[in-house]
Amino acid sequence: MANITIEGNPISTNGELPAVGSQAPDFKLTNKDLEDKTLADFVGKKKLLNIVPSLDTGICAMSTKRFNDEARDDTVMLIISADLPFAMGRFCETEKTDKVITLSMMRSKNFAKDYGVLIQDGPLAGITARAVVVLDENNKVLYTEQVPEIVQEPDYDKALAAL
């Protein structure tokens, strides 16, 4: 269990991020077209998983825009949250973030559980903590960051360097 904070108040997650060097757990998440997506849908590409509580918050919006701006041809930038696909689509349209792929946990919280980011207590219980996971083309974990304070941005430079 990771111990993190929200504006200085302690909260905890259900577990820990996958270990660097391990094989990433597969997932089934929902895209903007209400299609289920798994890691197999992104085979052969490096993946940056930007795991956020909600795109309706400032830090989540900033990180999504930053990773959109940093997108490369050999990498997919996956933005994962509990937001509904419709809201994520509106965000991307409004903010012109056309290089990221948004994925929703609307059908299952298994992703959050398997990646150890499901918040267990406090006002955000039931959604994800802020984290970044970088995977290689074969879904081996190259880098992880469990952001210790929900209202803090991830370390963009370290995440991008891992790619």
- At 116-162, the pLDDT tens digits run 999 999 999 999 999 999 999 999 999 999 999 999 999 999 999 99
85 within some domain: yes
61 pLDDT above the threshold of 90? no
Which pLDDT belongs to residue 45?
95
Contact of 68 with 99, CB cutoff 8 Å: yes
19 within some domain: no
Which pLDDT belongs to residue 72?
86
| Number of domains, the chain | 1
Rounded Cα distance between 45 and 75, Å, is 5
Which pLDDT belongs to residue 2?
86
**Burial group, residue 31, by CB count within 10 angstroms (0-12, 13-18, 19+):** middle
5 within some domain: no
Catalytic site includes residue 60: yes
CATH code of 109's domain: 3.40.30.10
146 within some domain: yes
pLDDT digit string (tens) for 69-108?
A: 998 888 999 999 999 999 999 988 999 999 999 999 999 9
Which pLDDT belongs to residue 32?
92
DSSP string across 140-159:
BEEEEEE-SBTTS---HHHH
User: What is the reported pTM?
Assistant: 0.94
Which residue out of 52, 55, 60, 80 is catalytically annotated? 60
Contact of 6 with 150, CB cutoff 8 Å: yes
26 within some domain: no
Domain that includes residue 48, residue range: 44-158
Rounded Cα distance between 85 and 41, Å, is 18
59 within some domain: yes
Name the one residue in this structure whose structure tokens are 């991830």.
Answer: 154
Contact of 25 with 115, CB cutoff 8 Å: yes
